[in-house]
Homo-oligomer: A and B are copies of this chain.
Amino acid sequence: MKELLKTKGFKMTPQRELIFSAFFELGEHVSVDELYAKVREVDESVGYSTVWRNLKLICRVGLAEEVNIGDGVTRYDRVTHDPHGHLYCRECKQFFEFDSEAVVDLMSAVADRQGFRPEGFKVEIDGVCRQCLRKSKKDNRNGRSGRSRTDAEKASGQAKG
């Protein structure tokens, strides 16, 4: 690791070491804030911008890549040997992963057909996960209803959503 950085002209500092290892201890889909919190558990003095810059650095050297699901927060995924896609549950806001040889094959087939050189892909399926499906079924049985705001009310910017 240290060598990977050195050969590219980067220095190794205590903060950097801490940030890197913290990133790899956390799972996938790490946001800057999450990483920052994790790092601060160990060393209170590390600055936010240092965490941010090092997260970018981790990407730059090819150990992670950005993931965007559209909630306004960029997350970072460790680059593994097996590419994967994401299932995102709209109810519980959680990520699930899936690996699929088939997806990879399909992606390259599609790219090939258009003379496109693929360098990476992102596959995201939005929906509702098993747990939440169960839960909402139960809620329906118990007769949960009560809508408080009309569609129009929600659409206008009059209240926090």
Does A128 count as interface, using CB distance less than 8 angstroms?
yes
Q: How many copies altogether?
A: 2
Give chain B residues whose Cβ lies under 8 Å from the Cβ of A111: 87, 125, 127
Please measure, in the bound complex, the distance between the C-alpha atom of A60 and the C-alpha atom of B96, giving whole angstroms.
Answer: 25
- Contact present for B56 and A85 (CB under 8 Å): no
Please measure, in the bound complex, the distance between the C-alpha atom of A122 and the C-alpha atom of B56, giving whole angstroms.
Answer: 24
Query: A69-B68, A90-B119, A127-B120 known; A60 and B155 CB under 8 Å?
Result: yes
Give chain B residues whose Cβ lies under 8 Å from the Cβ of A67: 70
Give chain B residues whose Cβ lies under 8 Å from the Cβ of A129: 114-116
CB distance from A7 to the nearest CB of B (A): 10
Interface string of A34-52 (1 = CB under 8 A from B): 0000000000000001000
List 20 extra interface pairs beyond A10-B151, A116-B125, A122-B124, CB under 8 A: A8-B151, A9-B150, A11-B152, A49-B157, A53-B156, A60-B151, A60-B154, A60-B155, A68-B68, A68-B69, A90-B119, A103-B106, A107-B123, A114-B130, A117-B128, A118-B126, A119-B126, A119-B128, A123-B123, A123-B124
Interface residues of A (CB under 8 A from B): 8-11, 49, 53, 56-57, 60, 66-70, 74, 85, 87, 89-90, 96, 98, 100, 102-103, 106-107, 110-111, 113-130, 133, 150-152, 154-157
